[in-house]
Chains A and B, each alone.
Chain A
Amino acid sequence: MATYALMRSSLGLLHGLKCSFKSVGQIPYGAAAGAITQAKGLQNARCYSVNHLSVQERIEKKRKAALTGGGQLRIAAQHKRGKLTARERLELLLDPDSFVEYDMFVEHRCSDFGMEADHNKYPGDSVVTGQGRINGRLVYVFSQDFTVFGGSLSGAHAQKVCKVMDQAMMVGAPVIGLNDSGGARIQEGVESLAGYADIFLRNVMASGVVPQISLIMGPCAGGAVYSPALTDFTFMVKDTSYLFITGPDVVKSVTNEDVTQEELGGAKTHTTVSGVAHRAFENDVDALLNLRDFFNFLPLSNKDPAPVTECHDPRDRPVPGLDTIVPFESTKAYDMLDIVHGIVDEREFFEIMPNYAKNIVVGFARMNGRTVGIVGNQPKVASGCLDVNSSVKGARFVRFCDAFNIPIITFVDVPGFLPGTAQEYGGIIRHGAKLLYAFAEATVPKITVITRKAYGGAYDVMSSKHLRGDVNYAWPSAEVAVMGAKGAVQIIFRGKENQAEAEAEYVEKFANPFPAAVRGFVDDIIQPSTTRKRLCRDLEVLASKKQTNPWKKHANIPFTGP
């Protein structure tokens, strides 16, 4: 609780609230409220039909008031900050005329600190909720309205959000939250806290049932951050959005660190350092248009198959560039994204966390029109090794795909887990286990292509045959081995003279796809240029795959830590 209050003072939002008490009479809504009071006074003197008309009038007036949110002045201030209003955002996110609003007449129930006054009541309160369509497909949305009490979360606000989440789960449609809120409504105290918890519970219950996406478009701080953290994807808007537990002022008073909002919790921090956010976009318009595009990849619920769209890219298109992409020298890097772009439909790849733990590449693409999840080691960064951050990044993505019936294609070029005290102390064992766990438990179609190295335990982890990979391919350049030739020879022939000769023998024996292929650990050795054709065909076959794990209350993934 203290956290919320402190955080909000740091954001300077209390100032904003005070202002709303004093100046509210000057804004149009104040005038509207006056008119309503008058109408109330006349009510008894009128006959039924007139009374009916007056209700109609009141409805219209409330609606009008709801549509202007905190009033023109605050809308102008919102625009000046480079932000759109809650309603403008929904208009852009959803198909034209598709938005159906709920709870436009809900008002907050706080009666302390003068909040009960008419001019402190805003129809709809500080959030706009409802459902609509994105490219014709159903989605539930809530959009926090910063122009009303700084978008702060009241009991009513939370209740509205919970209502759409409940319904989304019931009908099986994703929930998109557009976050722009100063935090808890302090005037409401514990009611506001309860509201957060109600939302958290629903985030958890909906997890794995319907996709949940958070787009942070303004401040989101204190306890409020846990709602986006529980959702499947968190996107941010550069320069205008922040996520942190406590603001810079509190940080200063507690740890004596000097830090700006942007450094502490801006889009750059969360997409490159903390890994809290999955992508950042240039501005509101850019973010919302990209979100529409992203939505096309997602199934509506865990009962819905991965969506299939019209595809203009031939499914059997050869990709000649892949035959030469893997360099002869096994120490030389190449860009895994070149492989991904070459294989997927129309070179279109929606990368998740492109700037965090870059030694693994994850994201969505389509194969012959069907959504797939792509996981690939990135030899260009840290040789594509697995470390704490890349394991967690990969694990979370794999689990999302598995939860929502999205087939997983894994491209393997991994020299192993990153050694060193930093990694061991950081818990690479338990974090690495997450990725292993995720691939092992996944029951969606799993196709693996070993492009070059698949060394040691990391080979096992990367969707190997042994973890129920459905189709596992090796390119001719693949080397499936316990470790690289040099290291292996140093162990096997320790102290012996002719190390170079032994190394050559090891390379001949193990640095190729045959040891794995003769054991059936890879199903085939394929020409790289035919990979797209092979994968498209396999995905069609595997579309009817059915596999279930043993009954359990829930599994116990090695969860501790980030």
Chain B
Amino acid sequence: CAGLWGGSFAFDLQLPKRFQQFSCVFSFPQVHVKVADEAVCVGPAPTSKSYLNMDAIMNAIKQTGAQAVHPGYGFLSENKEFAKRLAAEGVTFIGPDTHAIQAMGDKIESKLIAKAAKVNTIPGFDGVVKDAEEAVKIAGEIGYPVMIKASAGGGGKGMRIAWNDEETREGFRFSSQEALSSFGDDRLLIEKFIDNPRHIEIQVLADKHGDALWLNERECSIQRRNQKVVEEAPSTFLDPDTRRAMGEQAVSLANAVKYSSAGTVEFLVDSKKNFYFLEMNTRLQVEHPITECITGLDLVQQMIRIAKGYKLQHKQSDIPINGWAVESRVYAEDPYKSFGLPSIGRLSQYQEPLDLPNVRVDSGIQEGSDISIYYDPMISKLVTYGKTREEALKKMEDALDNYVIRGVTHNIPLLREIIVHPRFVSGDISTKFLPEVYPDGFKGHMLTAGERRELLATAAALYVAAQLRSQKFLGDLSRQWELCVELDKGVHMLGVSRSGNNYTVEIDGEKVEVSGEWNLASALLPITINGKHRTLQCLLRTAAGEISLQYLGTSFKLRVLSNLAASLSKHMPEKVPEDTSSILRSPMPGSVVAVSVKPGDNVAEGQEICVIEAMKMQNSMTAAKTAKVKSVHCKAGDTVGEGDLLVELE
């Protein structure tokens, strides 16, 4: 049996063993295939020419003689045309039948079907919205806030929330553009936006013989811009009754559309445990591994069985909840900018924390891979499992600390903060979690006094270890070091003494014991601080004493100098930084969709200046102050890099 694997995520390394015999399809000439037997290039990087290019994929299928196709997630996975063409060629599509994809893929139709199947639905307009003015009219009828979303969409793309008429018009424009570029279909719909909800979804599994199961829920409330960041299964919020009610409605919807294969029914759940049908995803979800962890079922294997026409192996009463699983989506994103703006680059170093038990990493990349602007910026999904939620979260801390990613900016600082935040730990979350917890944006880990000492001590010990290595030929030196360490504008005088690999660092009268192997070539720095085991990462160490350490997920910049160098540094001239209020630079790499101003225009603070599209997201760039436009350095269609000058104001 040969099969074909495509999808937004280049490759899933943890696929069941039996899947390894299948050929895989990739669009990048350089993507490295570690597990597949065969890889077929389906075109250049832009998705419309590769993963969304049906002709190319059909050719690949003929070329490899594939008998079945697993469509992966995203792209053609929910495309009814694709399923039809496969059927015409006599190739099995590992997924539901075309009519189910069609019915559930269309959000308007799916809602009507759900209503008919007695599934709770959100009040809204059951039809396609023609233009922005009609959108405003309908929004007025439903009542603000409203959600505008792509009829064909999913994954948060082409989705906007509007609180007034103005935002409705703007949202309509953005959503239709995004919908067109992501799905090739710009139809939009509008519905009531449920404020402060949880996003909880039910995994269903149905066979071709009319049997269906619900495989419990996944809590996916931690989101930014309607895209999931941290997921867990089960949810802390559901009681057995609500779980069963949701599961039964999900199954009844699956039955209503004669669904077969794995699918996901998404619900919004309000604080009173009222739940509303959101949509049904007729494919495998990115976050499916956490369901596999707690149920012990291999969903891909089940999908293949069902596609072959076998009956379900399990009964509803067989489906357990064993332990707890958490998934973090590791993105190539800068979490300090709107909880994650895409970043690109080459993974100069990459090491997954696979040596830790109960850690699963699904990724499609390896050291040397390029993260480009053409795809979703996901690096991997990191899954940890424990008997209890506490255990799974602790494991996640370790896994994030041991995850080495260099060359691109990544969101580990944010992930590491979310999973230890008291609100998250207590289960008090909603889809508003991030903006509520970080109203002024994510700023990284805030150090306690004790943590600050640990960090200073580590930097000092690392500095001394490196200095000592430079002097190896002098014999084993053991003496007292007087250092001055700077950490975000705080200056500390430290004394360091050493015996073997153990360093005693004195900070403001407190002694900190740091010991470790001090391998200066290793990306990871496993050390013991005052008897506590910690894994830090050294990101940078320069001759001028700059040291960057990743500690508790966040990267901290320190400067370690001898007291002499520090005291002489006070004579050094200060460099004047650039005035950023009158300069608009691209916050990320991407392409310019539209420029709304020209030189000489007067702009008001907050007015849109241009729109940058990156990784399928459109981002509006606004003026930082009211001023006249001095010069414009980009035009629609340009590709811009991070930090490129876009517009100068006077």
Q: Are A309 and B346 in contact (CB under 8 A)?
A: no
Q: Which residues of B contact A524 (CB under 8 A)?
A: none
B interface secondary structure, majority: loop
Residues of A within 8 Å of B29, CB to CB, are 327-329
A285 and B569 within 8 A (CB): yes
Q: Mark B76-115, 1 if CB is under 8 A from A, else 0.
A: 0000000000000000000000000000000000000000
Among candidates B369, B473, B474, B573, residue contacting A283 with C-beta atoms closer than 8 Å: B573
**Counting CB contacts under 8 A, is A424 at the interface?**
no
Pick from A135, A285, A322, A335: contact of B568, CB below 8 A: A285
A320 to B368, Cβ gap below 8 A?
A: yes
Partner of B573, one of A239, A319, A321: A239
Which of the listed residues B571, B572, B575 has the most CB atoms from chain A within 10 Å of its own CB? B571
Q: Does A413 contact B (CB under 8 A)?
A: no
- The answer for the CA separation of A309 and B473 in the assembled complex, in Å, is 8
Query: Does the CB pair A82–B565 fall under 8 Å?
Result: no
A325 interface hit (Cβ, 8 Å): yes
A402 interface contact, C-beta 8 A: no
What sequence of 0s and 1s flags, for each residue 465-506 of chain B, a beta carbon within 8 Å of any chain A beta carbon?
000011111100000000000000000000000000000000
A560 to B472, CA, bound (A): 44
Query: What residues on B are CB-neighbors of A88 within 8 Å?
Result: 568
In the complex, B564 has a CB within 8 A of chain A: yes
Residue contact B348 to A321, C-beta cutoff 8 Å: yes
Are B568 and A284 within 8 A (Cβ)? Answer: yes
Q: Would you call B30 an interface residue if the criterion is a C-beta within 8 Å of the partner chain's C-beta atoms?
A: yes
> Distance in Å from the Cβ of B569 to the closest Cβ of chain A?
5
A136-B474, A309-B469, A312-B522 known; A321+B347 contact, CB < 8 A: yes
**Bound CA span A254–B64, Å:** 76
- B contact residues around A60 at 8 Å (CB): none
Check B543 against A292 for contact (C-beta < 8 Å). yes
Q: Which residues of the partner chain A approach B367 to less than 8 Å between Cβ atoms?
A: 319-321
Q: How far is the CB of B143 from chain A (nearest CB, A)?
A: 53
Known: A285-B569, A312-B521. A338 touches B366 (CB 8 A): no
- Evaluate contact between A82 and B571: CB separation under 8 angstroms: yes
Q: In the assembled complex, which residues on chain A have CB atoms less than 8 Å from the CB atom of B471?
A: 135-136
Residue of A nearest to B570 (CB): A79
**Residue of chain A at shortest CB distance from B370:** A324
Closest to A291 in B: B543
Complex: A368 Cα to B572 Cα, angstroms: 36
Classify chain B: how many residues form its interface, as a range: 35 or more
Whole-angstrom CA separation of A79 from B474 in the bound complex: 34
**A310 close to B368 (CB less than 8 A):** no
Q: Are A310 and B469 in contact (CB-based, < 8 A)?
A: yes
Query: Do B348 and A341 touch (CB < 8 A)?
Result: yes
A281 to B545, CA, bound (A): 14
Q: Please give me the residue from chain A that is nearest to B368 by CB atom.
A: A321
Q: Is B520 an interface residue (CB 8 A)?
A: yes
- Judged by a CB distance under 8 angstroms, whether A249 is at the interface is no
Cα distance A136–B477 in the bound complex, in angstroms: 11
Least CB distance from A546 to B in Å reads 25
Instruction: Write out the residue numbers on chain B whose beta carbons fall within 8 Å of the beta carbon of A282.
Output: 544, 572, 575
Choose one: A284, A309, A323, A341; the contact of B472 (CB below 8 Å): A309
Q: List 18 A-B contacts (CB under 8 A).
A: A84-B568, A84-B571, A135-B474, A239-B573, A239-B575, A282-B572, A282-B575, A283-B569, A284-B572, A289-B544, A293-B543, A312-B521, A320-B368, A321-B349, A324-B30, A324-B368, A338-B348, A341-B348
Known: A92-B565, A286-B544, A309-B470; 16 extra A-B contacts, CB below 8 A, are: A82-B571, A136-B473, A137-B473, A283-B569, A285-B544, A285-B568, A285-B572, A289-B544, A289-B545, A310-B472, A321-B346, A321-B367, A324-B30, A327-B29, A338-B348, A345-B521
List chain A positions with a Cβ less than 8 A from chain B.
Answer: 79, 81-84, 88, 91-92, 96, 135-137, 239-240, 281-286, 289-290, 292-294, 296, 309-314, 319-325, 327-329, 335, 338, 341-342, 345-347
